[in-house]
């Protein structure tokens, strides 16, 4: 992958048929107004700004429309936070599906166990005590030595939403290796990131505004908190996934850089070969 990629979003054919799109849109509208679904106190949400329910629903749409998520899939949510993606998925995944969420913030995991697993037993959550200077500074596991507590070939769909945006390269390499191990043949990875191409740093309407990081190929939004938002030169993340054994299927650019797009961060779809 190189910096000459055209800067636009979703230039491939849609994943869904018109009938499937109509059903998904109807489901999203129903979830948006369902007051019976769990939602944490706003003061306990640590997974970023924005409306908890609306962002979860937005990503449900992206998982299905861009990533090819199916109702029967076995799902792995790396960086599940306080269940923002999990809550809408409880209404999309069917009874044959399963969901495993992992996160370094134990308070979020405990909330999910109490409020989601108690109602949806095929949704399980696990505290991953990995060290992170912002989210889990006292963690006992090094980020570049990740070993996820699942058997190989256990998942059909894995996603990392706004996780690579807070990790150094060596830790992303570790996660990519584990994802390759955990996905079943044909399984899919949905990863969001900031992929910085040559023209992006000069875009006055880009949010965030990136500065060159100390490490080669990296960009940071805030020198005082480098892990708050990290970008990578185009090709770095793609090469990591390919080196792990995954096959790139799609790269879709986001509107953080000031272009039209259906999503904020950039999206990479990669597949474990059959």
Report the pLDDT value the prediction gives residue 214, as an integer from 0 to 100.
92
Task: Show Cβ contacts of residue 231 under 8 Å, excluding neighbours closer than 6 positions.
Answer: 165, 193, 194, 195, 196, 200, 210, 218, 219, 220, 221
Q: What is the pLDDT of residue 6?
A: 46
Q: What is the pLDDT of residues 73-83, one digit of tens each?
A: 999 999 999 99
pLDDT in tens, 222-267: 999 999 999 999 999 999 999 999 999 999 999 999 999 999 999 9
| Separation of CA 185 from chain center | 20
What pLDDT shows up at residue 43?
78
Collect all residues with Cβ–Cβ distance below 8 Å to 228 and sequence separation of at least 6. Answer: 134, 166, 220, 221, 222
Cα separation, 18 vs 223, in Å, equals 46
From the list 103, 152, 100, 149, the residue with the least C-alpha distance to 121 is 100
Give the per-residue pLDDT at 199: 87
CA-based angle 216:217:218, to the nearest 5? 95
* Confidence at residue 41, expressed as pLDDT on a 0 to 100 scale: 87
Supply the pLDDT for residue 48. 67
Site of tokens 């996660």: 175
In the chain the domains, ranked by start, together with CATH numbers, are 18-33+49-197+231-271 (3.40.50.150)
Give every residue of the chain whose pLDDT is below 70, as ranges. 1-14, 47-48
Instruction: Give the Cα separation of 188 and 155 in Å (integer).
Output: 9
Alpha-carbon distances, residue 255 vs 9, 50, 84, 261 (angstroms): 8, 16, 21, 5
Residue 4, pLDDT score = 38
């Amino acid at each position: 992958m190189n910096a000459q990629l055209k800067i636009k979003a979703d230039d491939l054919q849609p994943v869904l048929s018109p009938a499937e799109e109509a059903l998904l849109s109807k489901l999203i509208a129903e979830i948006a107004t369902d007051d019976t679904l769990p939602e944490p106190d706003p003061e306990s949400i640590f997974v970023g700004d924005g409306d908890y329910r609306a962002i979860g629903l937005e990503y449900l749409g992206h998982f299905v429309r861009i990533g090819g998520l199916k109702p029967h899939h076995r799902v792995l949510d790396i960086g599940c936070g306080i269940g923002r993606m999990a809550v809408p998925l409880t209404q999309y995944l069917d009874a044959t599906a399963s969901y495993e969420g992992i996160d370094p913030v134990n308070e979020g995991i405990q909330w999910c166990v109490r409020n989601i697993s108690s109602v949806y037993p095929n949704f399980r959550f696990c505290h991953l005590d990995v060290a992170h200077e912002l989210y889990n500074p006292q963690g006992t596991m090094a980020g570049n030595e990740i070993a996820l507590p699942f058997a190989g070939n256990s998942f059909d769909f894995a996603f990392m939403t706004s996780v690579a945006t807070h990790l150094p390269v060596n830790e992303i390499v570790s996660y990519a290796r584990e994802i390759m191990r955990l996905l079943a043949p044909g399984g899919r990875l949905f990863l969001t990131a900031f992929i910085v191409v040559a023209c992006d740093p000069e875009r006055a309407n880009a949010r965030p505004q990136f500065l060159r990081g100390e490490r080669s190929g990296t960009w940071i939004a805030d020198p005082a908190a480098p892990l708050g938002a990290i970008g990578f030169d185009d090709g770095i993340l793609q090469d990591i996934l390919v080196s792990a054994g995954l096959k790139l299927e799609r790269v879709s650019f986001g509107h953080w850089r000031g272009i039209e797009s259906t999503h904020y961060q950039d999206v990479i779809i990669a597949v474990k070969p059959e």
